[in-house]
A and B are shown apart, each in its own frame.
Chain A
Amino acid sequence: MSDPEILEAIRNGRDHAAFVALYTHLPKVAHLVRQNSGSKDDAKDLFQDALVIFHRKVRNGDLTLTSSISTFLFAICRNLWREELRRRNRTLTNWKLEDEADEPADLTALLAREGEYSVAEKALKTLGEKCLDVLKRFYVLHEPLQAIAKTLGFAGEGAAKTRKYKCLEAARRRYKELLSSTGHSIQHA
């Protein structure tokens, strides 16, 4: 798949095909990570985080690609990995200087909030299954409260709404806790 085809696929909800195509860029990232004190699994996790970020950016329509997708993904990974190594108190030792040249200039701004989103993701994952289900149905799938109440066995729309609110509050508390304990660092979800 070409870059425009991949973008088109994501916009049209053909995520699987897009992701499979995007994984062809994984070896380059794996090489980078393995050259810089990371494992194969680190590389996979890192790359998957980059895929999630890329997907969200495309879906939200706030991505203007100034380079190829490959370059973009690689730049995201390099940034996230640099962050991760900082957490592990290491630096990129086998860094190739010429790689820096093709880094999109606005990448820092683009990734500014991703650390927080990643922490939010982590916080949400500590919720109970049912809580997460309610929130996903409401916010991601945009199911009406009435339908959610029926599917999940709540007394009615009001009960579903209250439940949703309480779950959200629990997630928010957890999010705040995590945020203050990690200091905005990137968490691998």
Chain B
Amino acid sequence: MRNELNLLELVDRYLEGTMDATERAAFEQRLTAEPELNAMLLDQRSLREGLERIAIRPAVAKAYQAHRFGKWKPWLGGASIVIVAAAGWTLWERMPREAHEEPIIEQVDQVPVDPSSVAPSDTTQRTIPYEVDTIIDTVYRVLENGKWRTVKERPEGAQVMADNVSLSSPIYATSEGTVAEDRTSAHVKRTPLPVRMEPVEIKPEFPGGMGAFYNYLEANIKHPDLTKALNGTVEVGFTIEANGDVSNAEIVKGLNAAYNAEALRVIGSMPKWKAAQQDGKPVPCRLQMPMQFRNPGGDPAPSLK
């Protein structure tokens, strides 16, 4: 082995170009005379180059995330993935207002807005009906004198009842956005997500805002296996820590192992958020939201456990 170690050192020095002219000439002489040494040289060059490739891969992958994150890429293939909301939400400015229905709930994330009431600021922008730019807000419903009222502050001691939000008025808010021409609404339909979150003074914020959050989700969620694509929803919960990291991602309501894992993967690989704030200090905040996978013509979801 000693001899081979020495040979290897020689080969490495040759590849690194650290030999002087005389040594180099002698080595090249040996290469022509010893096919085994030549083979060793070629292998070593490949292996070293392979190592360099491996070392650069993470940077390539990281830049890909940054690239995707920054811009919506339209070349979706196979079954479409739809992120659908059962409930809508309101714009910050429109708070508080009454909902179309009166669900019995303790805490609604958002109140739906009539689509016609969203003022089109620029008609050209309305050609992108699924770009959403809203601000997450939390409102509470309190029961007063037999009537439900929407308030922004968490009421103390008021009678509140808990239930899941189930409104059926998806809203389509519009905003500027770069969406490629070949992305048709038939392909991907987007409505706001009913993100539920713990009440905090200042809500956590995904870098770039909620529109960016949707872009991120749409760009990254995949059917685990297109040949076995399902229709169904995975409800995920996760915490945005005080430092902005995502933690404690868990399945609240699952679909199957593969879909659950996919939902956790996408949530787990999110970039840092801007943390929620309470009394001027960053605090952790718990969020929960459904991710719907849709495959037109695919198998319906198996019964949920």
* Residues in A lying within 8 Å of B, measured CB to CB: 15-16, 19-20, 22-24, 26-27, 30-31, 34, 39-40, 43-44, 48, 51-52, 55-56, 59, 113, 116-125, 132, 135-136, 139-140, 161, 165, 168, 171-172, 175-176, 189
A50 to B75, CA, bound (A): 19
Cβ-defined contact, B77 with A39, below 8 A = yes
Given A55-B56, A189-B53, A171 and B47 contact (CB-CB distance below 8 Å): yes
Q: Which residues of B contact A20 (CB under 8 A)?
A: 63, 66-67, 70
By beta carbon, the residue of chain B nearest A47 is B64
Q: Which residues of B contact A175 (CB under 8 A)?
A: 43, 46-47, 50
How many chain B residues sit at the interface, stated as a range, is 20 to 34
Q: Which residues of A contact B97 (CB under 8 A)?
A: none
B28 CB to closest chain A CB (Å) equals: 19
Q: Which residues of B contact A120 (CB under 8 A)?
A: 46-47, 49-50, 53
Whether, in the assembled complex, B60 has its beta carbon less than 8 Å from a beta carbon of chain A, the answer is yes
From A19, A34, A122, A140, contact of B77 by CB (8 A): A34
From B43, B48, B60, B76, contact of A139 by CB (8 A): B48
A49 CB to closest chain B CB (Å) equals: 9
By beta carbon, the residue of chain B nearest A48 is B60
Cβ-defined contact, B50 with A121, below 8 A = yes
Q: Which residues of A contact B149 (CB under 8 A)?
A: none
B49 CB to closest chain A CB (Å) equals: 4
A125 to B49, CA, bound (A): 13
Chief secondary structure at chain B's binding surface: helix
A188 CB to closest chain B CB (Å) equals: 12
B188 CB to closest chain A CB (Å) equals: 14
Cβ-defined contact, B53 with A56, below 8 A = yes
Q: Which residues of B contact A119 (CB under 8 A)?
A: 46, 50
Cβ-defined contact, A16 with B51, below 8 A = no
A116 to B41, CA, bound (A): 13
A128 CB to closest chain B CB (Å) equals: 14
A15 to B59, CA, bound (A): 7
Chain B 30-61 per-residue mask, 1 if CB under 8 angstroms from chain A, else 0: 00000000000001111111111111110111
By beta carbon, the residue of chain B nearest A56 is B52
Cβ-defined contact, B50 with A26, below 8 A = no
From A15, A31, A43, A172, contact of B47 by CB (8 A): A172
Cβ-defined contact, B77 with A124, below 8 A = no
Given A117-B53, A121-B50, A189-B53, A16 and B62 contact (CB-CB distance below 8 Å): yes
Q: Which residues of A contact B62 (CB under 8 A)?
A: 16, 19
By beta carbon, the residue of chain A nearest B43 is A172
From A26, A140, A176, contact of B52 by CB (8 A): A140
Q: Which residues of A contact B55 (CB under 8 A)?
A: 136, 140
